[in-house]
Chains A and B, each alone.
Chain A
Amino acid sequence: MSLDTPPAAALPAAAPPRKGSRQGGARMDAVTKLVITAVVLILAILIGYPLVRILTQAFGAEGLETLRNIATSPANRAVLLNTVVLGVLVGAVGTAIGFAFAYAQARLDFRGKKLLHLIALLPIVSPPFAVATAVITLFGRSGLVTNKMLGLDYNIYGLTGLTLVLSLSFFPVAYMNLLGMLRSLDPATDEAASSLGADRWKIFRSVTVPMLVPGFASCFLLLFVEAIADLANPLVIGGDFTVLSSRAYIAITGEYDVASGAAYSLVLLLPGLLVFLVQRYWAERRSVVSVTGKPSGNVTLLRSPLARIPLLTVVLAIATLIVAIYVTVFVGAFTAILGVNNTFTLANYRYVLSGIGSDAMFTTTILALIATPVAGVLGMILAWLVVRKVRRGRGALDFLGMLGLAVPGTVLGIGYALAFNKPFIIGNIQLLPALAGGGAIFGGALAIVMVYVIRSMPSGQRSGIAALQQIDPAIDEASTSLGASGLRTFRSITLPLIRPALLSGLTYAFARAMTTLSPIIFITTPQTKIMTSQILSEVDSGRFGNAFAYCTILIAIVLGVIGLMNLLIRDRRAPTRVN
């Protein structure tokens, strides 16, 4: 896997935004208006309608009761508090890990830098259960490390385990974004500070960190939202610790109470919305990073052992942890039950590669491959609209795009089942055929693709927004002024310029699609066997060897496809003459 080019790193020279320049003041051309309408319509179908269908249930009798309960019952209040605590912890820890890796990568000189980069990106592919199960195997009460090596009786289940697993799973996004920003910082600012008598530590505190504040805020937001919406990990390693997403899942699957599930999910959207608003109105206003042309000097690498040694120790420790986890998954695939019954076996692969297993691999990969370009391009278009085209309502548009990630998968899945099991009919005109479920067109595959798209688009959207905010709007205007329509400008100017962001958007999209589980449960059909739900069923049966075998294959597929994407969408650094 090589995501060599972090979103902002390879961005072209751009001048600081013109003073007093206000974007979006121009009359929009017809094509742009059409694009906006189309995007809004697509989002309405992909996320708006299903959400409305399910969330209205939250205002039914049962749902209102639950909503009241959340305010009054101490148990429910604790769940809400747990959720926020978890989100904040993962947001902070994940961002910190991401920053440590990014800073080491950008400002330290050591051997194996490239390797460290790849290790940091590995968790982008974390199939459900794999990381959590591996962590339990390694650090659980009878874990290989905690118990067998250190003789501890350590209970990993709960907040600690969850924070660890979620931070490790989600930090690569923070790493990529922050690395891009660090690389795009003009070394001249460091030099200026240094010439004014600031030492390295002082520069770090008073120049580097403040410049990255918007980046921190945006990473925190993404991690917060991902953490509180995650379901598989709280179920596996959450132990007693209940969060809203698992509470909603339980309400639906354990208590047969969809309305309450919807109510919990509605509440779940609130912290997400809040953090989102804070990020928008605080961080974006404070945005100080701008790419001001070619960096005017070389970054002075950090040499002081006082800073190097602790940072490298932390980074290497985490990298070791990541490697250990993935090695565990890999080794686990060749044993019956790793840590319990360590006999070497190939039976797991034999099982997984025959029959249902290979069908699932094929289906899942095809569906994810269909969804990935759609999600990637849609994310970039959305980012472009938000940053460049739409002035009024851009916040709403941005949030609408993020909803696919913010809503727990369970709720999204049921929303899809509710919305798309029947043809969408007004009068006697069929606007949409049935998309989800066994009776739908393409055996329900389309609904799964749609879920993949809406679930995996937001990360691309965020990296697209970050990339676009660093490109001088005059470049767009120059194209327009030379006679290019809005869409043409997007295609031939904007998109090539944000190619690295597009590439990382596609990467995340594919990895996420391949690892999506909870919404899929509600819309799988006999014709569409999905790998993640096969993994779930193997875990349920206690056949961890099979589950790990599935995971390694899934990881291999994702890495392979990402590798191919990197080859196909290569960054043309030196422009060539098109003739």
Chain B
Amino acid sequence: MATILSTPSETAPGTNPSGSLHLDNLVKQYPGGISAEPAVAGIDLDIRPGEFLTLLGPSGCGKTTTLRMIAGFETPSHGSLTLDGEDMVALTPDKRPMAMVFQSYALFPHMSVFDNVAYGLRLQKLPKKRVQEEVAFALASMSLTKLADRAPNQLSGGQQQRVALARAMVMKPKVLLFDEPLSNLDAKLRVQMRTEIRALQHKLGITSVYVTHDQDEAMSLSDRIVVMRQGRIEQVATPETVYRKPASVFVADFIGRANFLDTSIEQLTRDTDGARATVRALGATYTVPAHEGIGADSQVCLMVRPESVALSPLPDAREVSGNNGRVLKSVFYGAWVEYEIETVGGNVTAVIYDPVPGDILESGTFVRVSFEQDRAWLLPAED
């Protein structure tokens, strides 16, 4: 998409300061549910105006329920929800200044593309001319102008999704809600659409809450990611923090791939940059950044991302000991090579990007295994 949606109306885009969403101890307990566990067990969130926030987690973690509570399709059993200080729980979904984009697009099959997009504006009783302009502009921005008179079922999946987006954005809601909107698209289209969504949202500055179980989507779209698990928040942070400094083994494992090495703390220091711990791992001593919650005698576990692992061949080595390891498996992916290395601390996965031709290690090769200590992360161990 070439053009970025701007609007012909007098309100300048991207300058809307409102859209601050506040969730306080939001709980959803279904009556007579199979488990006594609440679907959402107390969520606190402050979503800043214009922020793009993603709810990420495995299925059943409560992310969709949370989104539907924000939208108003579920009533919280407990807790409060305010938008710019105004209570939302008391409002029915149609009264909330929000618009939702659905996984199934949920286009109105009996209306043309134009009428789909115009639907909400007409409900607001805007003058006909104004509706015409706004819709035309939204369609143009989405490269849908030529399809205005088509029926939804005459469109491709990607086009349908654009209509759904246009239909929500034309409303200029204070909050946009996305419920796994890209999961029905093929991989290539998905990548393209998420770029478009991000660009649009940036331009319009509408607070957005986006539900997905796809970590790539979350990483590429979000200002912040909320990782959820069993109805609770595990971590709220920027994509980079979530990746580099996950709050738990669960987060580390769910986002990206990680090696977890058993270790224990030899020394723990704290300064303004946070905590650092001296640990022994893979036959060497490292001083690594550590999670705030770690104490000197905490049970810990060291996370090393596969791409942080460095390997150097040891032609003379004959056994796995100390920091010596042996290549068990070597898979060439083009842009990278992935190795599985047997070490004294268990098997370690290593990923080497842009491998030099001829330097790819064969399985059986002995290597020295090390990692860059600043890129490792010391976490409290899971129970």
Contact = CB atoms under 8 A, between A and B. Distances in A.
Interface of A: 12-15, 18-22, 25-30, 294, 472, 474-475, 477-486, 488, 492-493, 496-497, 572, 574-579
Interface stretch (B10-18, B144-152, B345-353): B144-152
Contact of A20 (B60, B100, B124, B177): B60
B62 to A, nearest CB: 10
Contact of A294 (B59, B60, B71, B153): B153
Given A13-B152, A26-B72, A478-B106, A575 B124 contact: no
Given A13-B152, A15-B103, A480 B93 contact: yes
B15 to A, nearest CB: 23
Nearest to A19: B59
A18 B149 CA distance: 29
Top-7 shortest CB links A-B: A12-B109, A15-B104, A482-B120, A478-B106, A474-B106, A29-B92, A25-B74
A329 to B, nearest CB: 39
A485 B94 CA distance: 6
A168 B65 CA distance: 49
Contacts of B148: 577
Contact of A496 (B103, B110, B132): B110
B99 interface: yes
Of A25, A572, A574, the most chain B CB neighbours within 10 A belong to A25
Contacts of A483: 94-95, 120, 123-124, 171
A574 B171 CA distance: 26
A137 B86 CA distance: 76
Contacts of A482: 94, 99, 119-120, 123, 167-168, 171
A294 B151 CA distance: 13
A577 B114 CA distance: 7
Given A25-B68, A28-B92, A577-B149, A479 B108 contact: yes
B72 to A, nearest CB: 6
B123 A484 contact: yes
Contacts of A27: 72, 75, 89-90, 92
Given A12-B110, A12-B152, A482-B120, 16 more contacts: A12-B109, A13-B152, A30-B92, A472-B106, A474-B104, A475-B106, A480-B73, A481-B93, A482-B123, A482-B168, A483-B123, A483-B171, A575-B109, A575-B110, A575-B151, A577-B115
Contact of B115 (A479, A488, A575): A575
B249 interface: no
A443 B69 CA distance: 53
A394 to B, nearest CB: 14
B282 to A, nearest CB: 42
A21 B64 CA distance: 9
A475 B108 contact: yes
Given A29-B92, A483-B171, A484-B94, A477 B102 contact: yes
A496 B111 CA distance: 10
B64 A481 contact: no
A578 B112 CA distance: 9
Nearest to A17: B104
A488 B95 CA distance: 13
B109 A13 contact: yes
B30 A575 contact: no
Of B75, B90, B104, the most chain A CB neighbours within 10 A belong to B104
A388 to B, nearest CB: 12
Nearest to B65: A20
Interface string B48-67: 00000000000110001100
A481 B94 contact: yes
B327 interface: no
A15 B71 CA distance: 20
Contacts of A574: 151
Contacts of A575: 109-112, 115, 151
Contacts of B100: 477-478, 481
Contacts of A30: 92
Contact of B74 (A12, A26, A497, A579): A26
A172 to B, nearest CB: 26
A458 to B, nearest CB: 26
B225 interface: no
Nearest to B104: A15
B98 interface: yes
A118 to B, nearest CB: 27
Nearest to B89: A27
Nearest to B28: A25
A26 B73 contact: yes
Contacts of A29: 92, 94-95
A576 B112 CA distance: 6
B150 to A, nearest CB: 9
A125 B149 CA distance: 40
A483 B122 CA distance: 10
Nearest to A571: B110
Of A19, A27, A484, A497, the most chain B CB neighbours within 10 A belong to A27
B228 to A, nearest CB: 14
Given A482-B120, A483-B94, A474 B74 contact: no
A472 B104 CA distance: 8
Contact of A572 (B60, B73, B110): B110
Nearest to A391: B31
12 contacts: A20-B59, A27-B90, A477-B93, A480-B72, A481-B71, A482-B120, A483-B123, A485-B94, A497-B109, A575-B110, A576-B112, A577-B115
A280 to B, nearest CB: 16
Interface in B308-335: none
A497 B99 CA distance: 22
A488 B123 contact: yes
A14 B112 CA distance: 16
A25 B93 CA distance: 11
A19 B63 CA distance: 12
B92 A481 contact: no
Given A477-B106, A572-B110, A18 B94 contact: no
